[in-house]
Amino acid sequence: MRIIPAIDILGGKCVRLTKGDYSTQKIYNDDPLEVAKEFEANGIQYLHVVDLDGARSKHIVNHKVLRDITSKTSLKTDFGGGIKSDEDVRIAFENGAMQITGGSVAVQQPGTFRQWLDRYGAEKIILGADSNNRKIATHGWIRQSELDVADFISGYAKKGIVYVICTDIQKDGMLQGTSNELYREIIEKTGVKLVASGGVSSIDDLIALKQLGCDGVITGKAIYEGKISLHELREFIDG
């Protein structure tokens, strides 16, 4: 199982939100590159970068930060937040993203999202499935649809999606454990490579997610708040 630390960028700084609420932002470092380099120095190979300014602006904003990270580290980086157009996708890949994540666009412009899947391939395009009480949320989690998360993922799996990041918004930033039953259901129903996101609070959560068969897990606040040390993560990765 891949361990994928998260760097959320707002105003060019490394921050974390609670349940996606911008008013709850907490700044952890003024320099996201510094954070990325520390991850790399501790054996981390993957990184999840979210452009929170982009999510709010509906187009990529922090592509220069992405370029800094991808050009000055060897981290395999997926990038999301504000990717709404062909131009956004081009900018993300040109600035070093290995994969891009589409969430709102997959709900509102499924034709566009499927075109990206056809053009770039299933290894490059991640489906972002952010759910609130099982219902898919969009627009930086401000709006909620009536789409069931498992059905939504299943529909795209039939269209060729392989990688899915599933975030339980109620768990995000809460440090209270992960939505294991939901993830088990999705893996059994769809067969996708599922990356779990939201609620990681300890190494025990990582062990449980690995046993579930998750392809990866995104963790942010647990690292920044010292609930999981980079030394522990390294031992987990090496183990």
Residues with a catalytic annotation lie at 8, 130
Q: What are phi and psi of 138, to 5 degrees?
A: -135, 180
Q: Are 168 and 178 in contact (CB under 8 A)?
A: yes
- For 186, residues 6+ apart whose C-beta sits below 8 A from its C-beta are 149, 150, 153, 164, 166, 192, 194
**How many residues in total does the chain contain?**
239
Phi/psi-derived region of residue 204, left when phi > 0, alpha when psi is between -120 and 50, beta in every other case: alpha
H and E: helices and strands count for the chain: 11, 12
Q: At 73, is the secondary structure helix, strand, or coil?
A: coil
Nearest to 167 by CA among 1, 65, 50: 50
